[in-house]
C-alpha cells in the first residue's frame, strides 16, 4: 500500500497497467483482484472528524463503498454496510476493520433491487445505532454490452433498479430519520458526462443520479440536510473485472487517464469524509469529480 501522506508523484503512487486478465462472476470480490485495491485498510488515517456520527453505506463490502466505510470508522463514526450475500467474505473484512476502531458495525446482506429490503436496511440501521446522520448510496451495477441489440430488457431493468430505484427507495426511507446537519452522498460517474458506447444503461443511470441528487438537495436544505454527488473516473474496483469492462480493457484500465493509471478507492475517501463532515457545511447540490484529470462538464 502506498504512503498517502508523503509527498510524491501521483502518477507513480499506485500500480499502472498492464494488469493480468482476471474475469470474475458478478458481483466480483476485491480479494480476488490483481493487484488488490487499496481501500485504506492500512493507508487511511483518521482525525475524529465524524466522532459519534451514524452512517449507512450501500455497497460497503468493496470498492468505493468500502473505502468510505473504513474512512468513516477511522473518523469516529458507527457504520452499517449493505451488500449482496455473495460478497460476504469481503464484507466480513470491512466489519472487522470498523470494529477494530472501537466503532459499532452492522452487516446488512441483501438485494437492494427488492423494494422492501431497500427500505428495511434503513430501519435496521436506525434501530441498531439509534439514528442516522450519514447516508451514502453507492452500490451499483455495471455490465458492458458491445451493441444496443445486446442490452436486454432484463439488463436495463436490473441496472435501473440497482442504480436508481434503490436510490429512491433508500433515500425516501432515510429522510424522516435524518436530523439537521445530516449528509446524503450519492455515487455517480464521469459516465454521466462522457458516456462510453458499451455502457448505455449504466451511463443513463449515472446521469440520473446526478439529476436526482441535485433535485433532492433543493428539498433537503429546507430541513438543514445537505446532499451531494461524487463522480469518479476510472477506479480499480471489482465492478470492472466482473463484467463492467471487457477483459482487454481491464488489462489496460486507467492507462488512458492523464495519470496513466486507475485511481484506488482510498483516493476517494477524503471526498466522502469532507461531504459527510461539518467541514462541508456550505456544500450542497454539488458534483465532485475525481476523474484522474478527465474533468466533468
116-139 pLDDT, tens per residue?
999 999 999 999 999 999 999 999
Contact 28, 238 (CB under 8 A): yes
Is there a catalytic annotation at residue 202?
Answer: yes
First to last CA, the chain: 32
CA pair distance 109, 86, nearest whole angstrom: 9
Q: Domain locations in the chain? A: 47-287
- Read off the pLDDT band of 3 (50, 70, 90): confident
From the candidates 202, 212, 272, 288, give the one annotated as an active-site residue.
202
CA pair distance 60, 36, nearest whole angstrom: 16
**Amino acid 210: pLDDT:** 98
Omega prior to 274 cis, within 30 of 0: no
Q: Tell me the Cα Rg of the chain.
A: 18
CA pair distance 254, 200, nearest whole angstrom: 20
% pLDDT > 70, the chain = 99
Task: State the chain's mean pLDDT as an integer.
Answer: 96
Give the mean pLDDT of 161-175: 98
**Amino acid 4: pLDDT:** 77
What nine digits make up the cell of 231? 463522480
For residue range 259-291, list pLDDT tens digits in order.
999 999 999 999 999 999 999 999 999 999 999
- Read off the pLDDT band of 102 (50, 70, 90): very high
- Read off the pLDDT band of 1 (50, 70, 90): low
Give the mean pLDDT of 247-254: 95
- Read off the pLDDT band of 5 (50, 70, 90): confident
% pLDDT > 90, the chain = 97
- Is-above-0.95 flag for pTM? yes
47-287: CATH topology is Rossmann fold (3.40.50)
**Amino acid 251: pLDDT:** 96
Give the mean pLDDT of 218-237: 98
Give the mean pLDDT of 47-52: 97
Strands 78-83 and 105-109: parallel
Task: Mention every residue, 6+ apart, whose C-beta is less than 8 A from residue 118.
Answer: 112, 165, 166, 169, 170, 173
Task: Mention every residue, 6+ apart, whose C-beta is less than 8 A from residue 192.
Answer: 203, 206, 207, 209, 210, 231, 296
Amino acid at each position: 500500500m502506498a504512503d498517502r501522506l508523503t509527498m510524491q508523484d501521483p502518477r507513480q503512487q499506485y500500480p499502472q497497467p498492464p494488469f493480468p486478465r482476471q474475469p470474475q462472476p458478478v458481483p466480483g470480490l476485491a480479494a480476488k483482484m490483481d493487484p488488490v485495491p487499496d481501500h485504506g485498510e492500512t493507508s487511511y488515517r483518521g482525525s475524529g472528524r465524524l466522532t459519534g456520527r451514524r452512517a449507512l453505506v450501500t455497497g460497503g463490502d468493496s470498492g468505493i463503498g468500502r473505502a468510505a466505510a473504513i474512512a468513516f470508522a477511522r473518523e469516529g463514526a458507527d457504520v452499517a454496510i449493505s451488500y449482496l450475500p455473495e460478497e460476504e467474505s469481503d464484507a466480513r473484512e470491512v466489519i472487522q476493520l470498523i470494529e477494530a476502531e472501537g466503532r459499532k458495525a452492522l452487516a446488512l446482506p441483501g438485494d437492494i433491487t427488492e423494494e422492501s429490503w431497500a427500505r428495511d436496511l434503513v430501519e435496521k440501521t436506525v434501530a441498531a445505532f439509534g439514528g442516522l446522520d450519514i447516508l451514502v448510496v453507492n452500490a451499483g451495477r455495471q455490465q458492458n454490452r458491445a451493441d444496443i441489440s445486446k442490452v436486454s430488457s432484463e439488463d436495463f431493468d436490473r441496472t435501473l433498479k440497482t442504480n436508481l430505484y434503490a436510490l429512491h427507495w433508500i433515500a425516501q426511507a432515510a429522510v424522516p430519520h435524518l436530523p439537521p446537519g445530516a449528509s446524503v452522498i450519492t455515487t455517480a460517474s464521469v459516465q454521466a458526462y462522457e458516456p462510453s458506447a458499451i455502457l448505455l444503461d449504466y451511463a443513463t443511470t449515472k446521469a440520473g443520479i446526478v439529476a436526482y441528487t441535485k433535485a433532492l438537495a433543493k428539498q433537503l436544505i429546507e430541513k438543514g440536510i445537505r446532499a451531494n454527488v461524487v463522480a469518479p473516473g476510472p477506479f480499480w474496483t471489482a465492478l470492472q473485472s466482473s463484467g463492467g469492462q471487457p477483459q482487454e480493457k481491464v488489462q489496460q484500465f486507467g492507462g488512458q487517464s492523464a495519470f496513466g493509471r486507475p485511481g484506488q478507492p482510498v483516493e476517494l475517501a477524503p471526498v466522502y469524509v469532507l461531504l459527510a463532515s461539518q467541514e462541508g457545511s456550505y456544500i450542497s447540490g454539488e458534483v465532485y469529480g475525481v476523474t484522474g484529470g478527465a474533468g466533468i462538464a
